[in-house]
Amino acid sequence: MPITALDNTGNSLLQDAEGNHCSSFPTVLLQVIWKAAQLSRTEQYPERGVEDSSYPATQLRLLLRITQSFDPLAWATDLQPRSPTPDLAHRTHVAHAHREAVCIYLARLILSRYVDTQLALSVAAWVSEAIAHMACIRQSDALFTATTWPAFIAGAETSSPQEQAWIAQRFSELWEIEPWGTISGALDVLRGIWSDKRQSAAFVGQLGNTFTFNNDWIRKLRQTGVDWLII
């Protein structure tokens, strides 16, 4: 499925900005989440056992495959002529973190609406992978702030206290560099998500193994009006 969310002019502007904008967000991945956000707001559901390319579930899975096929090293290599400094290794780690974060985002959209979907990889694995790549970008590095969006997505998804602590520390370090309301607001939102997870896990534990915890944090953010942190 071709990604046609933006016209050629929009694509060109985004690609030009990849090398200089603080987010260093690969254009093709931005297009993926734009398309996924549109699909996630539709109300079309397939009949059981019916597979149709027009259904959101099918298209979301295709977007996930497109995202997984994205090559961070190839993207970072192609970007070097537009980058202000020779930063191939750091750009590659940033692109990896964004790829895993987009995979997390897509997986959460799929699992929240189609609970029986079987994914090729676990969402927890994508979270761990994103954190591993972000950890390679230190606070003193020029691309440190480019890890903000992946850090938020990984933080919203994880239920691991250790990973949550790492994400919280990351946002504290980001705040030292960019003391903006967006940074502190993102961390406040994450702490609220983590609190809800702990309460829900405790409640499910009391009910027994026949109940599962609904980790639909994207819907919760939309319902509470803070979806400016995602799409």
pLDDT of 3 above 50: no
Residue pointed to by tokens 């899975």: 61
Say if residues 111 and 122 touch (Cβ distance below 8 Å).
no
111 pLDDT band, cuts 50/70/90, is confident
Say if residues 24 and 145 touch (Cβ distance below 8 Å).
no
- The larger pLDDT score, comparing residue 162 to residue 23, is at 162
pLDDT of 5 above 50: no
% of the chain beyond a pLDDT of 90: 57
Six token digits for residue 93: 């780690």
Give the model's pLDDT for residue 4: 45
Who contacts 154 (Cβ-Cβ below 8 Å, separation ≥6)? 100, 101, 104, 126, 127, 130, 131, 134, 163, 167
Query: Averaged over 42-62, what is the pLDDT?
Result: 65
Which segments within 24-175 are labelled E, that is strand?
none
Helix/strand/coil percentages in the chain, nearest 5? 70, 0, 30
Q: What is the pLDDT of residues 81-96, one digit of tens each?
A: 888 888 999 999 999 9
What distance in Å separates the CA atoms of residue 2 and residue 168, rounded to the nearest whole number?
37
- The larger pLDDT score, comparing residue 216 to residue 137, is at 137
Give the model's pLDDT for residue 11: 61
Alpha carbon separation from 201 to 2, 125, 187, 219, 227 (Å, rounded)? 40, 20, 21, 18, 24
What's the whole-model pTM score?
A: 0.86
Residue 145 per-residue DSSP state: G
pLDDT of 212 above 70: no
Alpha carbon separation from 107 to 32, 127, 222 (Å, rounded)? 13, 11, 17
Q: What is the pLDDT of residues 6-22, one digit of tens each?
A: 445 456 556 666 766 66
pLDDT of 48 above 50: no
